Structure 1
Amino acid sequence: MNANESIHYLLRLLLFKWLCDVFEEEAETIEKKTDNHELAWNTPNSHQFFIPENARWEKLINCSDIGNELNLAFRDVEAYNPRLEGIFTSFDFENKHNFLGYRDGNEALRELIIEFSRLNLHNNNLAEPGLLGRISDSLIKIFVAETWKDGGAFCTPQSVTELLVRLLDIQEGMSVCDPTCGTGGFLIACANYVRNKTEESNDVLLYGQERGLNIWVIAKINLLLHGIFDFDIRLGDTIRDPKLAQKDKLMLFDRVIADPPFNPKNWGYENADFDYYSRFRYGIPPKNSADFAFIQHILATLKETGKAGVIVPFGVLFRSGKEGLIRQRIVKDDLIEAVIGLPANLLYFTGIPIAILIFNRKKVEERKNKILFIDASNQYQKKHKQNYLRSKDIKHIIACYQNFTNEEEYAKVVAIEELAANDYMLNINRYVLPSNLENKIIDIETELTKLNELEAKRALAENDMNKYLRQLGVNV
């Protein structure tokens, strides 16, 4: 099986085996302390996750019709544990296992369960508390590697995730939302960041939304295997149908962190004029570009003291037309605190360079009507075919953002008046000049000649291509 198929078995069965083993571990401890078998094994309130008798692991191994029995067992497990809703019942084990490619799919599924039976996943038997989370990360990494070419833009690399989480400096007790949460990596990193700061608690309110059913399930499993049980991730299209709402109003958050899809098709342009939540107060983005739709949704869900960090393609910084007007209005409202340029080839699904926009609804006095531009595009390490940010690169960006001062060839604080003079363009190299370009005299005439030569070569290549297409019978 390929990773896109196998992950649906592996993650669900790994989670279920762990839930069964922890339930058993808890039950044995309760019975030993209380000498009350009924309380230990058959009282739902005694357990964080209750496994009914018909769904316990040892009962399933010897079933004759294992696919059907799994479906029935999982239905009962979710009925007792609302936090698990949709994780197991969204997958049909009775029919789906035909993809295993065996003559007898039932037997193949049984063999897989027997393999899982070899694992003792009692908490006291794990080498370290985060072991299952690391396993989950590994499986998802394989899954992403095999599926990103098919549009799998739902997982942000660890170095970029770490940078964004640290930039937002999430505190204990805050509410954090990822409106395009993918496999849940940002939310896990936020919880771990708070846990590391407090050395014990990961007391942070985690919310998310994901439009793809399979990815939504993976996100929920991923958080559970990382030992995070209090979260609210909802299924649906964030722009067309925002689910994180209460009493007909969008929920507001202390922090929003996001890596939205770059310009997805059919983002909801046709309904934007009638948006129920009035999210597009700065303007309706163009039909073929959803970047500012996500940005405006994020701004609409920030508390008055809230901050957001969003990964965007460079085009967001300079595109004109409707997007230019939206950008101008956001800048005038003094909502952007920093624009950080990152290297190309950091993300899994595209090789283009990216930027981080930091939005802040309550800037400190010395940062008002100013934006910090950071050019970190040349600070990275290459590993295999992928670039990544080193620890020193992340520390440099964080220190520069916290200091909010100029740094030669790296960072510059720019007043909004200067931005206005540049048509509110946020191109980083308008303000931070790389060292290899500083004081360099550009011969405009020579550069135009080069451009004309390239255009001529392109025209010849296009003529040749059209000639070959006509020979093949294609009308061009």
Structure 2
Amino acid sequence: MTSGRIIADAFDQLRLYTSQREASEHIALLLLISTIGKLQNDYMSLGLKFERLDEFLDLYSTNTIDREQILIKTIEDLQYRNPHIFIGLTSIVNNSIPARVSRDTWKMLQALPLPTLEHGLISTGPLIEDLLRRGAVSDREGKTLVTPEPILRLMVGLTYPQEGQSIHDPTCGAGSCLIAAARYVASNGGDPTNLRLSGQDINPRALALCGLNLAAHGLINVDLRQGDTLAEPKFVDAQELEQFDLILTTPPLGLKQPTPPFRSFGRWHPSMLSKSRADVAFLLHAAAATKQGGKVALLAPLSLLFRTGVEADARESLLRAERVEAVISLPPGALPYSNVSTALVVLRAQEMQKPVWMFNAQSVLLNWREEDRAAVIDNVNSILEDCKNAVIGHLSRPVSFDELDSNNFNLDPNVFVKGNKLQVDPESIFAELKMLEESFVKADEFWKSSFEKMIHFID
């Protein structure tokens, strides 16, 4: 039986007792503990600390009465000894699932192939990612915790994560961006465990899933902290904002909550903040938290790039500092859980007298469906190749500061690059119409002949 079939059967079993999201999370939690148990030496060498795991492994398959307590004690031990990565993990324990059913699920998971280390990452990771994505499909809140794969590929492909870098996500959700960076490093021959990964999120459940997700991939050198990134950034050193080599983030889109007078930490002048939207504050936070020579890839609502007022002032400030490297407008449906038009903004942390690279990808297929995956990967690679080689065409071109200035510092690529348009070829249309006409004539002759034969037969 394949891994996918085993996971699907376990999922279907739990769905009889709980929601789709909770079933996915419970299986992911059991799968993480199973993976740590099977790769104890590897996890210890990575720096993970645990004590009660062997007790859990001995008792959980047979004990039904104390099933919940055994699980909670095991998780509490992991949290206590590894607080940098496991935060609120006990909140994922699902008390509505009968002990017998949870035990049976555990036994089903033991039939999975033994986890292995592949390019420095543990093979169980993608299974847990898929579980979390499956759970997010039915959960309004959960949908924002995972970032679609095409967007992640674009983000890392535009910023080139490197072994040894500090990589941060100030709105980390379930850790999609951090894992994408590690996977990029591994695929390019680097050691993903030699990354300093960190993240902050206001949602405790998000952080619990983030730690679970990262650990399942074998990423233990992580620092996760809970809190509101805008109001109370947790990564602060001597009252100054800590800076990172790379920031990858997909903040809440169009967050319509008034922005109070937050402490600046060098992130902004109060006059730059919108009184109704937090989008510009996330952008300015990411810009300020980047080291000299570093980069930012941030998913933003497209409207942030053309709204007037304080947001135009913030864009002007970043452009005058020569911080904006590229902007890619994404197609409708790039985010399956939102109708908001979006764009990727790439910032650099040093002044470079270069124009802003604009790419209009609104006509490019980037929706991640099973039947479209190969085409989507080709499209992502094509966008990255064009950006890397500065290909000027109908989808992309450089835009100078003077041109941006004359457009009120509008950063919407659709203003500067019109993208694909429907090409009308009159001759081909005429040929198609001629063929249709001939088909209709033949069909008409056929039915007339058939009708005459039927009349003749009746007579």
TM-score between the two structures when normalised by the length of structure 2: 0.79
Q: Is the 8 A contact 1:317 1:427 kept in 2?
A: yes
From 377, 385, 388, give the equivalent of 1:399: 385
Q: Is the 8 A contact 1:21 1:121 kept in 2?
A: no
The aligned runs of 1:37-56 (5 Å cut-off) are 48-52=48-52, 55-56=55-56
Question: Does residue 374 in structure 1 map to residue 374 in structure 2?
Answer: no
Match of 1:135 in 2: 127
Do the aligned partners of residues 125 and 161 (structure 1) sit closer, same or farther apart at CA in structure 2, a change above 3 Å counting? same
Q: Is the 8 A contact 2:170 2:249 kept in 1?
A: yes
From 13, 19, 22, give the equivalent of 2:36: 19
Q: Specify the SS of the correspondent of 1:152.
A: helix
Q: Is the 8 A contact 1:344 1:387 kept in 2?
A: no
Q: Is the 8 A contact 1:263 1:288 kept in 2?
A: no
Mapped to 2, the partners of 1:175 and 1:359 lie a distance apart of 16
Structure 1: where are the runs of 5+ without partners?
28-43, 101-107, 439-476
Q: Is the 8 A contact 1:178 1:186 kept in 2?
A: yes
Letter in 2 for 1:20: G
Mapped to 2, the partners of 1:126 and 1:286 lie a distance apart of 48
Question: Does residue 427 in structure 1 map to residue 416 in structure 2?
Answer: no
From 93, 98, 115, give the equivalent of 1:126: 115
Match of 2:207 in 1: 216
Question: Does residue 172 in structure 1 map to residue 172 in structure 2?
Answer: no
Letter in 1 for 2:114: N
Match of 1:413 in 2: 398
Q: Specify the SS of the correspondent of 2:143.
A: coil
Mapped to 2, the partners of 1:47 and 1:419 lie a distance apart of 49
Match of 1:111 in 2: 101
Match of 1:254 in 2: 245
Question: Does residue 271 in structure 1 map to residue 256 in structure 2?
Answer: no
* 1:225 Cα deviation after fit: 0.9
**Deviation string for 1:328-387 (max 9, x for gaps)?**
2221221111111121111122133321111112255xxx15211111211216676998
* 1:56 Cα deviation after fit: 2.8
Match of 2:87 in 1: 86
Q: Is the 8 A contact 1:282 1:296 kept in 2?
A: no
Structure 2: where are the runs of 5+ without partners?
1-17, 424-459
Letter in 2 for 1:134: P
**Deviation string for 1:417-461 (max 9, x for gaps)?**
1211122112323322345399xxxxxxxxxxxxxxxxxxxxxxx
RMSD over aligned CA atoms reads 3.1
* 1:265 Cα deviation after fit: 3.5
Instruction: Tell which has more relative contact order, 1 or 2 (C-alpha 8 A, sep 6+).
Output: 2
Q: Is the 8 A contact 1:195 1:203 kept in 2?
A: no
Match of 2:19 in 1: 2
* 1:190 Cα deviation after fit: 0.4
Letter in 2 for 1:19: I
Letter in 2 for 1:169: Y
Q: Is the 8 A contact 1:20 1:51 kept in 2?
A: no
Q: Is the 8 A contact 1:282 1:326 kept in 2?
A: no
Do the aligned partners of residues 262 and 382 (structure 1) sit closer, same or farther apart at CA in structure 2, a change above 3 Å counting? closer
Match of 1:314 in 2: 302
Match of 2:14 in 1: none
Do the aligned partners of residues 260 and 117 (structure 1) sit closer, same or farther apart at CA in structure 2, a change above 3 Å counting? same
* 1:307 Cα deviation after fit: 0.9
Do the aligned partners of residues 57 and 110 (structure 1) sit closer, same or farther apart at CA in structure 2, a change above 3 Å counting? farther
* 1:414 Cα deviation after fit: 1.6
Mapped to 1, the partners of 2:108 and 2:47 lie a distance apart of 24
**Deviation string for 1:283-307 (max 9, x for gaps)?**
3322221110000100110112111
Match of 2:58 in 1: 58
Q: Is the 8 A contact 1:175 1:205 kept in 2?
A: yes
* 1:221 Cα deviation after fit: 0.5
Letter in 2 for 1:322: V
Percent of pairs with identical residues: 24
Q: Specify the SS of the correspondent of 1:50.
A: coil
Q: Is the 8 A contact 1:182 1:215 kept in 2?
A: yes
Mapped to 2, the partners of 1:386 and 1:419 lie a distance apart of 39
Mapped to 2, the partners of 1:346 and 1:386 lie a distance apart of 16
Q: Specify the SS of the correspondent of 1:308.
A: strand
